[in-house]
């Protein structure tokens, strides 16, 4: 069974649309993350949540709104999509939100905005 799973894997949508990416982890971890990998393959953190509470928000535009209904799920909703939002979005989780905890990543969601 996949430890960190995210859907959809591929998403092509038009500018201005609103879309969501769902993420679930079955590892029993307390902390979940969203990372963005841009066209230059640069992987950067967007958000982290610990037990449903927002911990890190790396100056991401407020068009991006994460939602954590429980600690096993962290969904990413994006409003008014722009061309620059095209990227691969990775969900991840770790046991705790302190140093020394390995972060496990999902397979990524390829978002293309046209």
Partner 1 sequence: SQELEQSPQSLIVQEGKNLTINCTSSKTLYGLYWYKQKYGEGLIFLMMLQKGGEEKSHEKITAKLDEKKQQSSLHITASQPSHAGIYLCGADRSGGSNYKLTFGKGTLLTVNP
Q: Minimum Å distance from CB 114 to partner 1?
A: 21
Structure tokens at 1: 């069974």
Pattern 7-26, partner 1, x by CB under 8 A: --x-----------------
Pairing of strands 53-57, 109-113: unpaired
Cβ nearer to partner 1, comparing 28 with 100: 100
Give min distance, CB of 13 to partner 1, in A. 20
**Binding positions for partner 1, 27-66, rule CB under 8 A:** 31, 33, 40-45, 48, 55-56
- CB 21 → partner 1: shortest distance, Å? 13
Q: Which of 13, 65, 101, 112 binds partner 1 (CB under 8 A)?
A: 101
User: Is position 107 an interface residue for partner 1 (rule: CB under 8 A)?
Assistant: yes
Q: Rounded to an integer, what distance in angstroms lies between the CA atom of residue 105 and that of residue 3? A: 8
Cα-based distances in Å from 67 to 39, 42, 92: 25, 24, 14
b or e along 44-77 (b: 16 or more beta carbons within 10 Å of the residue's beta carbon)? ebbbbbbeeeeeeeeebeeebebebeebbbbbbe
3-state SS assignment for residue 97: coil
Residues that bind partner 1 (CB under 8 A): 4, 9, 31, 33, 40-45, 48, 55-56, 90, 92, 94, 96-108
């Amino acid at each position: 069974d996949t430890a960190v799973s995210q859907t959809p894997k591929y998403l092509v949508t038009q500018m201005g649309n609103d879309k969501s990416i769902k993420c679930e982890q079955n590892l029993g971890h307390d902390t979940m993350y969203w990372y963005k990998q841009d066209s230059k393959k640069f992987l950067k953190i967007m958000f982290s949540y610990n037990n449903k509470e927002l911990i890190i928000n790396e100056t991401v535009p407020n068009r991006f709104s994460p939602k954590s209904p429980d600690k096993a799920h962290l969904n990413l909703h994006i409003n008014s999509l722009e061309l620059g939002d095209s990227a691969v979005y990775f969900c991840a989780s770790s046991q705790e939100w302190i140093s020394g905890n390995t972060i496990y990543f999902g397979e990524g969601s390829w978002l293309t905005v046209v």
